[in-house]
Amino acid sequence: MKAGVAGHVAEAAPQEARAALKVIEETSRSALIEMRRTLGVLRTSGAPLGPAPDLGRLDTLAAEADRAGVVVHLTVNGTQGLAEGTQLTVYRIVQEALTNCVRHAAPTRCHLTVEADAREIRIEITDAGPPAGRRLPGGELPGRHGLLGMRERAMMYGGSFAAGPRPDGGFAVSVRLPVEGERQG
């Protein structure tokens, strides 16, 4: 409807046309963000259907990584009441980061911190790197799809993402997500 108005009044009332185009831009951006979030959820739904994982299950992820050779030191603070979609996004980012740690560095140690306050959620995952003498082919991480997925999830929420080798060895992933709306519960 707004596109029709903009087209109709473009020459006679350019201010009104610009206002209609601004509404179209904002609505389109909002719809695109929601669609990306939905696609992100669908992309990860290869697992059997059931309740969406939440932050209460991060200890399960840590235990699975431990069984695969990565000793995880888990710290979670201030995450009570986060929206379900936000919890799922945080869970999937942590899941992918731990999967990468198991795949590329095990056996190793990993520090995983998820903290939230009224403004943002901080996710920090650092590992000590693979044991001495173990090298990845070509010295680089193969694939990179996990990093891309984590980056996409962070960007869908208007957050930031950084990942790379640590100066003292190992690898680090850092994600910041804004807290959306009011907390539940």
Burial class (CB in 10 A: 0-12, 13-18, 19+), 90: buried
Question: What single string gives the DSSP state of each residue in 4-67?
Answer: HHHHHHTTT-HHHHHHHHHHHHHHHHHHHHHHHHHHHHHHTTTSPP-SPP-GGGHHHHHHHHHH
Q: Tens digit of pLDDT per residue, the chain (185 long)?
A: 666 667 777 788 888 878 878 777 777 776 677 777 776 666 665 555 567 788 999 999 999 999 999 999 999 999 999 988 899 999 999 999 999 898 888 889 999 999 999 999 999 999 998 887 665 444 444 444 688 889 999 998 899 999 999 998 899 999 999 997 555 55
Distance CA(24)–CA(148), nearest Å, equals 29
Q: How far apart are CA 95 and CA 60, in angstroms?
A: 10
Q: How far apart are CA 158 and CA 32, in angstroms?
A: 13
- The pLDDT assigned to 97 comes to 94
pLDDT at 94: 95
